[in-house]
Amino acid sequence: MLEVWLILTVLVVGLLQFLDTGLYTYIAYNLRVDGLYLGVVSAIWSVVYVLSNSYFSRLADRGRNKVLLLIASVVLILIYVLFSNISLLNGLLLYSLHAIAVATVNLSLSVTILEMYDYTSWNNINTFSRVASNLVRGSVFLLIALYFLNLQLILILTTVLTYLSLMLLPGVGLNIERTLFKINRNLSYVGRYLKASTALLYIHKPKDALEYFEKVWSGSNDLKPWRVLTSAVLYTMFGDMVLVVLPLLLKGYVELNSLWLSWGMAFLLTSLIVLPIISKLTSGSMYGGSRLTGLLIFLRGLTLALILLTHVNDWLTLTLYLLLVVVFSSIADSLMYNKFVEVSAGYGVSRYYIAREVGSVTGSLAGGLVFMFMPWVLPALTIVLAIASVVVIAL
């Protein structure tokens, strides 16, 4: 059952996701910047996000979800003040503060979901959160592209809703659900060891013993957390290499409102397409999910490379490309996050976010530099990193 606090907090997440792209593209279009500046801005965002996750994860693991939202509320007020007097320096500062708001809200929502819902519902709730936030993000992009809203109003609305979420959010204390999940997972491991050990009954028939052992053990197909995290690093790296310079690529051909309109259509359509797909995919086996995740990662990389190779000069073509990127990203993101939660028993979720931002820092700086000096290398490098990410998680 979806509760008011969950809906409100997911709404805040969606608004923050919009502000991520919205503030970044606003800076790229309205301030005199180059690829290096955008790469540095994006990289600093990621560094601040990593440090925030590392520091505030202790509050999350202790169940201090309300404190995390309080911090986000204060940070959003500071962002509004800086945006009111936008400049190169203020743009850098407000975008960095946005990283703190995203980190604290994500941690607060994650730990609350993990403790307030039965572990059998984690995948479904996380999927709802991701799809609903995309719906919010897409709707806001459309409203702002059609001049019904502006960035200042969005900042005010986000601050107010964050405070309301703080008021309604249930407090969490003991890590009961995550502990129960860990016990259940460990018991299942013991069960598999016991079943696999029965292969010794066929020791006089080595071929039969091997077949039985593989039949029992392959049902688990253990995926280690480090593999998910490494794949997430590479996945985020090649994505940010392209996305960090995308506004500069489009600036001479597509107006800012057209770009926002394309993002809005992409996120809205994705929210309608992805929910039933992810619900079916996350019910499958871990191994099958890994291979499917790998396929989606490769398709995302291929689409981003095509954007670089194609001169997009109209919003309809741009919308199609962005739709494919967002669909592949949404499903792959959800599968990877759910997989990490499963193999880590819900502990240390900040490690997943940190891994992504390590990739983002590297990708942002590399994208900005390569775009300035060797732009023709970007498509090939994107494909190579996508393949590497696939190999780590799926093979």
- The answer to whether residues 261 and 290 belong to one domain is yes
**CA torsion angle for 255, 257, 263, 269 (degrees, to 10)?**
-120
Q: Determine the Cα–Cα distance for residues 361 and 366; give it in Å rounded to an integer.
A: 8
Average pLDDT over all residues of the chain: 82
Residue 155 is part of a domain; what is its CATH number?
1.20.1250.20
HSE-CB for 107 with a 13 A CA cutoff: 36
- The answer to whether residues 210 and 225 belong to one domain is no
Q: Supply the range of the domain harboring residue 42.
A: 4-174+221-394
Q: What is the pLDDT of residue 279?
A: 61
Q: What is the pLDDT of residue 195?
A: 41
- The answer to whether residues 247 and 356 belong to one domain is yes
- The answer to whether residues 271 and 158 belong to one domain is yes
Q: What is the pLDDT of residue 239?
A: 94
Q: Please indicate, yes or no, whether the overall pTM of this predicted structure exceeds 0.75.
A: yes
State which of 200, 217, 234 marks the end of a domain: 217
- The answer to whether residues 341 and 199 belong to one domain is no
Q: What is the pLDDT of residue 391?
A: 93
Q: What is the pLDDT of residue 90?
A: 96
Q: pLDDT of 189-236, one tens digit each? A: 444 344 434 434 444 445 444 444 444 444 445 678 888 999 999 999
Q: Determine the Cα–Cα distance for residues 238 and 303; give it in Å rounded to an integer.
A: 12
Count how many domains the chain has.
2
- The answer to whether residues 195 and 300 belong to one domain is no
Q: What is the pLDDT of residue 12?
A: 95
- The answer to whether residues 169 and 195 belong to one domain is no
Q: Determine the Cα–Cα distance for residues 227 and 225; give it in Å rounded to an integer.
A: 5
- The answer to whether residues 202 and 340 belong to one domain is no
- The answer to whether residues 249 and 116 belong to one domain is yes
The closest of 176, 8, 37, 138 to 95, measured between CA atoms, is 37
- The answer to whether residues 76 and 118 belong to one domain is yes
* Residues of the chain scoring pLDDT < 50: 176-205, 207-220, 284-288
Q: What is the pLDDT of residue 192?
A: 39
- The answer to whether residues 82 and 26 belong to one domain is yes
- The answer to whether residues 68 and 31 belong to one domain is yes
Q: What is the pLDDT of residue 144?
A: 94
